[in-house]
Each structure stands twice: as structure tokens, then as C-alpha cells.
Amino acid sequence: MSPSSEHPSAALRTEALEQLLTERGLVDPAVMDKFIATYETQVGPLNGAKVIARAWTDPEYRQRLLADGTAAIKELGFAGPQGEHIVVVENTDDEHNVVVCTLCSCYPWPVLGLPPSWYKDPAYRARVVREPRKVLAEMGLELPPDVRITVRDSSSEVRWLVLPQRPAGTEGLSEEELVALVTRDAMVGVAKVSAP
């Protein structure tokens, strides 16, 4: 037996599991298709990038976002499961926020999509709390020693979103152009947004 036949791909295993659950009446294929379509087209980091770009270009929106993240995010049409209570914190020259969920992988799905594998990794979840500066450096983000790092622990009650600093030299860019610069990692706080 070849290695590929011993270990079928994740896609084949997923398809087989879905078929089995459907045959037993435990899953409605139409509901599954709707969830898949939602996460493929309506949920993801692009939504969060739109929130951040709006906050960078609209000072009143930025104030609303920092005061009540959930409501301000909903203004742009992004809401749903795992987004019932989102708190937004702002990175500044003096403070850098980074998000983790130490218990599992609570994450603001409507604005960031599904969490990346490193976010769910037990090593990240444990180490970023104990040695955030070292973990961020390992991920490519070197912060000056005078920048205070605050680790925000997401939970089922509160999910955190980082409002990264707007990079210098982007003052003339449109909101749409800014959206293209914002990454998921910057909204989790493990990276900064780079100028084009």
C-alpha cells in the first residue's frame, strides 16, 4: 500500500465524514454549504482590514470603534458568531497589544476569519503570555525595549482586535488602498502594518 493510500488527504477525510454525518441525518448539506460559503466569501481578514482602514481615515469612526468595537464593526456589516463582543485596542508608540486565547482559540471570526494554526498552538498560547517580546521577535516583530507589551487574553465573553498603527507615508492613500496593507497578523498584534 502506498503512503498516499494509507493516509488519505484531509479533503477526502472531510468529504467522507460529511457524507457519513449526512447519511445519519446529523448534518444538513444545505446548512453546511451555507457555512462554507459564508466563510469563503463573507468572513475573513479582509473584513477586519476594512474596519482598520476606516478607523485610520475617519476619526469619528475610530472613536466609536475604540469605545464599542462590536457596534462600530456592525456598522460596516460585520457581525455573527464569535463576534458578539469584540473589544478593540490601539497600538501606539508606547504600547503594543498582542492577542492570545490561553484556554482554546477564541477569535473574532467575523473580522478575522478562522484562526491560523499558530494561534491555536499550545506553545504560542503559553509562551506569548510568559515571554511576549521573545515570541514576537521569533515571529519577525522586533519592538524597542521601551515599548510596553500588553497581552490580551480572548475568551468566549470577549474577543480582542488590535487597531495597528498606521504606517508613516500612507497619508495620501485612499481607504481602499489602505485595506490592501492591513494583515491578519497586524490585527492580532504579531506584526506591524508596512507601508507600500
Q: Which residues are catalytic?
A: 101, 104-106
Nearest to residue 107, comparing CAs of 133, 139, 136, 84?
A: 84
Contacts of 125 (CB under 8 A, 6+ apart): 100, 101, 102
For the record, the C-alpha cell of 187 comes out as 490585527
Quick check: 168 and 157 in contact, CB under 8 A? no
Q: Would residue 187 be called left, alpha or beta, if left means φ above 0 and alpha means ψ between -120 and 50 degrees?
A: alpha
Quick check: 27 and 18 in contact, CB under 8 A? yes
Nearest to residue 162, comparing CAs of 82, 80, 55?
A: 55
Radius of gyration of the chain (CA): 19
For the record, the C-alpha cell of 69 comes out as 468595537
Phi and psi, residue 67, nearest 5°: -80, -40
